[in-house]
Amino acid sequence: MGLNFPAFSQTTYQTPPQAIADLVNAPSTPSVSFSKNGDWMMLLERADNPSIEELAQPELRIAGMRINPATSG
């Protein structure tokens, strides 16, 4: 009686459908913050998702932080 695990039989990298890839890679919508008296408005933009190359970099895990030893970031 062999076990059949189809989810584990995938051996090649697969890309998602183009609609999903476009959604993930779309620029993020900026946030808005106002000063207490309403005189100033600030648009806050977030960094995009990191690339595969960035995620594959070696990292040090110290006190819950992830530090890239090549950039100290």
pLDDT at 33: 94
20: DSSP letter? H
68 Cβ neighbours under 8 A, 6+ residues apart: 57, 58, 59, 60
Higher pLDDT, 3 or 41: 41
pLDDT at 69: 83
pLDDT digit string (tens) for 24-70?
A: 888 888 999 999 999 999 999 988 777 788 888 888 888 888 888 88
Confidence of residue 7 (pLDDT cuts 50, 70, 90): low
Confidence of residue 5 (pLDDT cuts 50, 70, 90): low
**Bridge partners, residue 42, by sequence:** 33
73: DSSP letter? -
